[in-house]
Amino acid sequence: MDKIRYQVLAGTHTGYRLLLWLLIILIGIGLIAAHHMETQGHWVTGMDNRVVWGLPHVFAIFLILSASGALNTASISSVFGRSDYQPLARLSGLLAVTLLTGGLAVLVLDLGRPDRLVVAMTYYNFSSVFAWNVFLYTGFMLVVLIYLWVMMTPQMRGYVRSVGVVALIWRLILTSGTGAIFGFLVARDAYDTAIMVPLFILMSLSLGMAVFWVSTLTMCRWNGYRVAPELSEKLRRLSAVFVLGVLFLMALHHLTNIYMAHHQGIERFLLVDGGVYPWLFWLGFVLCGSIVPVWWFLDRRFCTPAWTVTTALMVIVGGLCHLYVTIIGAQAYPLRLVSGYRVDSGFYDGEITHYLPTLPELALGIGGVSLALLITMLAVRILPFLPTVTRPLPGSNQG
Amino acid sequence: MMTNPANKPRRHFLGRTGAGTALLALAPGVKLVDLTLAKDEDEPASDETRWGLLVDADRCTTGCRACVSACEEEHALAKTSRTQLDPQWIRKVDLVDESNDRSVSIPLMCQHCEDPPCVEVCPTGASFKRADGMVLVDKHTCIGCRYCMMACPFNARSFVHEEVTGQKSYSPRGKGTVESCTLCVHRVDNDRTPACVESCAVDGHGALTFGDLNDSESTVSKTVRSQPHRELRPDLGLNTGVRYRGV
């Protein structure tokens, strides 16, 4: 058996340099957009007093969920002792940290007062899921950094499994916390259900794998090595299972709502006659983001790296569509202000809110994604995250 | 000594004038006594009081916006570049009963819930409930995350999307923070009623009754105890401080 070696990425690849510059430009545009939103106020966005979380939240939650899910490979390697996953474990941990950084950057820069970040770090209301998440996010980053350190330090190898277990538990709690942000919103018919927690956990597994595929295979290509076909096959099947899991829980969520008479209005809106939302749901999430990817992940005719990246990109786009419907569609639908009454007011009560994201919002969201990718690309140039071989060491189960 | 009957009207005149003069002289003093009875600035709110508001939908008329205008004037709530961005501390909502098409009009504002969802979700504790039941926002610790707006079942909170000018010292506002009805805390703490209540009374409809729900002798408490009323979303079990009659 070959011995696993890790190396830094040689930065001479044209694609790498071009992407690096593109990401720097996109981050710059994102920062300008954030500055514009802060100095002018949120009137420059498509958000208003009815749709209060817009496109930046879609990107932020996508990145946060992906961060947790990106750690799948490392967890499988360290916690479950699957040594064939070991070569990609470091990259898996790195992506978890960088994606979370990108997501948090978007979340903070979309605040009405991003300059008060220190307030958010020093004043806590422990009945708030948001406040828990401040600890969960920062704690996750710390745990994964320690995880990476023990993986990369030969003298610390003995602790890899223990730290891996902590990271696994932490990420499950983290995604539970993110799902609970929505699940605990009792006033909104689209949420107010505990199923949001397992749904978000599965979304994280699915999206994280998709982002992992795209990043890993791209860097593998730059680094000039190929992921072992057996490992690739396992990961593809795993990805399909995660996508199917999301689809199952999503179906369960909507069917439960349809069963409840007072939730039928929101279900009809999101799934049938809500304008852009049913299109994003059925075409974007169900068809392009779930059914087709499951088929392509399981069909060996589509097992080449190029097809795998394409399939993963479809899962990512489907996930963004899904989050858009879940986050924004639910706000666009009017609240039930008074049971048994139709309502009308100058504040658009009882009416559908029309939300159209603006360029600053899009720029901020893409800036966050770019930040995550840029840090990843720089990190692999500085530290040995990429394996030179993908074959496992005999009897090894350490990352 | 004999009294001259001719002097009687003059004495009456002098007596009445004197009484009137005394009344005029004492009135400011009475007012001063009132002011000394008002709360000290450092005196904390007491949980012996639960401020509440009863809205009588049978008296509130469609098209009347006296309460909304009074609120806008009291708190310097100016219009913004887009209607959807306007501050809506209080708004008029027309309701149509789905069972019989009966229409009513009500003012809708922060319901000052006993268990406010906005307070529970606020990460920094900027949204808070005073001991006397008022739900307020600390503008110094609000980071503008808008989670409270997601949590409010009544869309009763507004986000300040633009720079604000002409603020009142007793009602600070700030771009990038969330705000809502304060129940005119600055007035209530000085033994006055909220601006909307005062305006509704002046306008002649008298649809709003404000007072201490814990005080069995207060009008609002007596009415709530003796007449049918409801919360807007009783299913949520929030025990709101604002109640509605005729809905």
**Which letter does DSSP use for residue A383 in this model?**
S
Nearest chain B residue to A106 by CA distance is B145
Contact A42 B161 (CB under 8 A): yes
- Lowest model confidence (mean pLDDT) among A13-27, A116-130, A231-245, B29-43: B29-43
Taking the Cβ of residue B237 and every Cβ of chain A, the question of whether any pair is shorter than 8 Å is answered with no
pLDDT tens across A310-327, in order? 999 999 999 999 999 999
The residue of A127, A132, A338 whose CB has the most chain B CBs within 10 angstroms, and thus the best one to mutate to test that interface, is A338
Residue A24, number of CB atoms within 10 A of its CB: 13
pLDDT of residue B3: 47
Q: Does domain B51-245 have CATH number 3.30.70.20?
A: yes
List CB contacts (< 8 A) between B235 and chain A: 339
Amino acid identity of A259?
Answer: Y
Contact B147 A128 (CB under 8 A): yes
Of A42, A49, A343, the CB nearest to B88: A49
Nearest chain A residue to B142 by CA distance is A113
The full set of domain ranges for chain A reads 18-335+366-384
pLDDT of residue B14: 56
The residue of B155, B157, B165, B180 whose CB has the most chain A CBs within 10 angstroms, and thus the best one to mutate to test that interface, is B155
Q: List strand residue ranges (DSSP E) for chain B, in order.
A: 51-56, 90-97, 103-109, 127-129, 135-137, 158-159, 178-179, 208-212, 242-245
Q: Measuring CA to CA, which residue among A83, A200, A69, A209 is closest to residue A140?
A: A69
Residue B62 tokens, joined: 């469609």
pLDDT of residue B36: 42
pLDDT tens across A40-86, in order? 999 999 999 999 999 999 999 999 999 999 999 999 999 998 888 88
Contact A42 B95 (CB under 8 A): no
The residue of B90, B175, B236 whose CB has the most chain A CBs within 10 angstroms, and thus the best one to mutate to test that interface, is B175
CA angle in degrees (0–180, nearest 5) for A35-A39-A42: 90
Of A52, A112, A335, the CB nearest to B153: A335
Q: Measuring CA to CA, which residue among B46, B245, B73 is closest to residue B134?
A: B46
Dihedral of alpha carbons B22, B27, B32, B34, sign: positive
Taking the CA of residue B119 and the nearest CA in chain A, the distance in Å comes to 8
Length of chain B: 247
The pLDDT-based confidence of B240 (bands split at 50, 70, 90) is very high
Mean pLDDT of chain B: 87
CA angle in degrees (0–180, nearest 5) for A242-A248-A253: 125
Whole-structure pTM value: 0.89
Taking the Cβ of residue B199 and every Cβ of chain A, the question of whether any pair is shorter than 8 Å is answered with no
B127-143 average pLDDT score: 96
Contact B233 A43 (CB under 8 A): no
pLDDT of residue B17: 56
pLDDT at B82 over 90: no
| Cα A144 from Cα A168, distance rounded (Å) | 10
B129 SS3 class: strand
The pLDDT-based confidence of A222 (bands split at 50, 70, 90) is confident
A303 SS3 class: coil
Please state the three-class secondary structure of A6-20 as a single string. EECCCCCCHHHHHHH
**Residue B36 main-chain phi, psi, to 5 deg:** -70, -25
Q: At what angle do helices A89-109 and A129-152 cross, to 10 degrees?
A: 150
| Cα A365 from Cα A26, distance rounded (Å) | 10
pLDDT at B103 over 60: yes
Of A43, A130, A336, the CB nearest to B85: A43
pLDDT at B81 over 70: yes
| Cα B50 from Cα B239, distance rounded (Å) | 11
A315-342 average pLDDT score: 94
pLDDT of residue A1: 46
List CB contacts (< 8 A) between B150 and chain A: 52-53, 185, 188, 331
**Residue B51 main-chain phi, psi, to 5 deg:** -70, 135
Of A128, A337, A347, the CB nearest to B122: A128
Tokens 């002097």, residue located:
B7
Q: Which H or E run contains A345? A: strand A341-345
| Cα B152 from Cα B191, distance rounded (Å) | 29
Nearest chain B residue to A51 by CA distance is B150
DSSP A169-210: HHHHHHHHHHHHHHHT-TT-TTS-STTHHHHHHHHHHHHHHH
Taking the CA of residue B24 and the nearest CA in chain A, the distance in Å comes to 47
pLDDT at A283 over 70: yes
Taking the CA of residue B177 and the nearest CA in chain A, the distance in Å comes to 6
The contacts of residue A387 (CB under 8 Å, 6+ apart) are A4, A5, A6, A7, A87, A88, A90, A225
List CB contacts (< 8 A) between B123 and chain A: 120, 124-125, 128, 130-131, 134
| Cα A149 from Cα A302, distance rounded (Å) | 36
pLDDT at B85 over 70: yes
List CB contacts (< 8 A) between B141 and chain A: 116, 119, 123
Contact A346 B124 (CB under 8 A): no
Nearest chain A residue to B153 by CA distance is A187
pLDDT tens across B178-222, in order? 999 999 999 999 999 999 999 999 987 899 999 999 999 999 999
Residue B209 pairs with which residues in a beta bridge?
Answer: B54
pLDDT > 90: percent of chain A:
80
DSSP A59-107: HHHHHHHHHHHHTHHHHHHHTS--GGGGGGHHHHHHHHHHHHHHHHHHH
| Cα B4 from Cα B187, distance rounded (Å) | 55
Q: Are the C-beta atoms of A120 and B143 separated by less than 8 Å?
A: yes
State the Cα torsion A277-A280-A285-A288 to the nearest 10°: 160
The contacts of residue A230 (CB under 8 Å, 6+ apart) are A84
| Cα B214 from Cα A63, distance rounded (Å) | 49
List CB contacts (< 8 A) between A331 and chain B: 150
CATH class of A18-335+366-384: mainly alpha
The pLDDT-based confidence of B6 (bands split at 50, 70, 90) is low
pLDDT of residue A340: 83
A183-194 average pLDDT score: 90
B51 SS3 class: strand
Taking the CA of residue B147 and the nearest CA in chain A, the distance in Å comes to 8
Taking the CA of residue A55 and the nearest CA in chain B, the distance in Å comes to 14
